[in-house]
Amino acid sequence: MECVREIFARHHLRCTKQREAIYNALRASEGHPTAEALFRQVKPSMDSLSLATVYNTLEVLCRAGLVQKMPTTNGCCRYDADVREHLHVRMTGTDEIQDVPDELGQRLLQHQPAEVLQSIERALGVKIEGVNIQLIARPRTSDSKPQNGTH
């Protein structure tokens, strides 16, 4: 994984312990943590850390294009250190969001019909800059169709 220091330098961001720790925690995280969750995760190893710094840092990283902020319906936002165009799955019920494995996600993104997108651009008089796809899914429980045990 590339050195945070260099990434920050390239984006003209000061490299502080706090930013480094927060960004690393976010990059390492499996899911898409909230600011609170990141705070709780980093705080133990940096007792002086304040929640405001987490928010400030996340905002800076978002503005620099290093982090993606994702709204949820339940009030708080979630963050993602992967800023490439990729797919999310939101579980009904919880507001947990997980990534779709890249190979599969790319396949879906590549199937978007350019021709339809162009029609939409013309119809609305806009330039489409991204396609954000979120799948809504329910976990396959034992009482529904059997699953493949992939995991």
Instruction: By CB under 8 A, name the binding residues for its own copies.
Output: 69-73, 77, 87, 89-92, 98, 100-101, 104, 107-108, 111-113, 116-117, 119-140, 144-145, 147-151
Q: What amino acid is encoded at 81 in this protein?
A: A
Residue 11 Cβ, how far from DNA at the closest point, in Å? 10
Q: Residues 13 to 32: which contact DNA by CB under 7 A?
A: 13-19
Can residue 46 be called a binding residue for DNA (CB under 7 A)? yes
- Cα torsion 36, 19, 78, 91: sign: negative
49 binds, among its own copies, DNA, none (CB under 5 to 8 A by kind): DNA
Can residue 8 be called a binding residue for DNA (CB under 7 A)? yes
142 binds, among DNA, its own copies, none (CB under 5 to 8 A by kind): none
What b/e readout covers 58-86, taking b as 16+ CB neighbours within 10 angstroms?
A: bebbeeeebbbebeeeeeeebbbbeeeeb
Quick count: other Cβ atoms within 10 Å of Cβ 35?
Answer: 20
CA-atom Rg of the chain in angstroms: 18
Q: 79 vs 46, 61, 130, CA distance in Å?
A: 20, 10, 18
Beta bridge partners of 89: 98, 135
Q: Which CB atom, from 1 or from 116, has the smaller least distance to its own copies?
A: 116
Using the rule CB under 7 A, which residue among 25, 35, 81, 87 binds DNA?
35
Residue 99 Cβ, how far from its own copies at the closest point, in Å? 10
Residue 70 in tokens: 């994702």
Residues of this chain that bind DNA (CB under 7 A): 5, 8-9, 13-19, 34-36, 46, 48-53, 55-57, 59-60, 74-77
